[in-house]
Amino acid sequence: MQEEERFVRDLMWAVNSPPLMDATHRAAQPLQASDIDGEHLRDHFTRHRDRRVGRYFERLLAYWVRYIRRCEVVAHSLQLRDGKRTLGEIDLLFRDEQGRLNHWEVACKFYLQLDVEDGPTRYIGPNPNDSLQTKASRLLEHQLPLGLRHFPEIELQTAFVKGRIFYHWLGDSKGRAPNELTTDHLKGKWLWARELPELLGTNPLHYRILNKPFWLSDEVIDPSGDELLSTDEASRVLGNHFLDRATPILISGFQDGLSLERECERWFVVPNQWPLEINQT
């Protein structure tokens, strides 16, 4: 039952959460838990597990379109090729309730806002090669036009982008938000690994490390027996992680451990050398 509820929460998040980019489609009606056959949803996703967050998000939306909206899915993750050369991929092509052919390019992104001395504010991913600006440009200037060139009968196109922006936990940025970013986007906080003792010392919470692909909806605990990390346990586990690994880690915090069922905060913890290419310039 717990896994079934997880998939239901994530599907509702995929549909109902605020967009990250202004170009993103907004659902006309919020998706309700009563609209979802939780058992069917669980079976659909347990048959084909994928740890990639983006693919999981894309499959959730395809499920919503096919099984809840009852639309005809024409193509999903369709590779476009010119001979042996791959031109790109169509994320989702479907006929909506009015019979119109829709093309969606889908993305779930998590960007960390970083002020660079003597430079513009950056919105970059845990993998610093990814950024909000480059993703927006690729979606709007390459992927959507590519779909129209191969399927000229497309009537509606949109970039369906959800996610979260993480701001440094000790202060607000002085930079101006980019035009692509919506004003009501979801927020979190980020910090370098060297700042963990200060964070944990000033936030006497209980914690959970989030595993891919379950980075979407707010974490919920079971008061009857959910295992969470105490502050001391979190300090030890996270400290050990960064001793020999340079991969960012995502954590949720819960007030008083079990007093609240839903997370109160979410943090990205990144290695001290993140982001390499900026620290080296």
Structure tokens at 74: 């024409």
Q: Which amino acid is it at 136?
A: A
Dump pLDDT digits (tens) for 163-192.
999 999 987 666 677 778 888 899 999 999
CB 150 within 8 A of CB 172: no
Helix (H, G, I), strand (E, B) or coil at 6: helix
258 pLDDT band, cuts 50/70/90, is: low
Dump pLDDT digits (tens) for 5-56.
999 999 999 999 999 987 666 666 789 999 999 999 999 998 888 899 999 9
Q: Bigger pLDDT: 48 or 240? A: 240
HSE-up (13 A, CA, CB side) for residue 114: 25
pLDDT, average across residues 257-268: 77
Structure tokens at 188: 């979190």
Dump pLDDT digits (tens) for 104-139.
999 999 999 987 665 567 899 998 889 998 998 899
Say yes or no to pLDDT of 195 above 80: yes
Residue 128: name the closest of 268, 275, 280, 269 by CA.
Answer: 275
Say yes or no to pLDDT of 70 above 60: yes
Say yes or no to pLDDT of 281 above 70: no
Q: Bigger pLDDT: 75 or 202? A: 75
Structure tokens at 158: 């949109």
CB 121 within 8 A of CB 115: yes
Q: Supply angle C-alpha 10, 249, 237, rounded to 5.
A: 115
CB 254 within 8 A of CB 208: yes
Omega before 19 cis (within 30°)? no
Q: pTM of the predicted model, to two decimals?
A: 0.90
Phi, psi of 109 (to 5 degrees): -125, 145
Q: What pLDDT is recorded for position 57?
A: 96
Kindly give the residue spans of alpha helices, DSSP state H, lying in 175-222: 196-202
280 pLDDT band, cuts 50/70/90, is: very low
CA distance 259 to 38: 27
Q: Which of 115-124, 198-207, 210-219 has the highest mean pLDDT?
A: 210-219
Say yes or no to pLDDT of 277 above 80: no
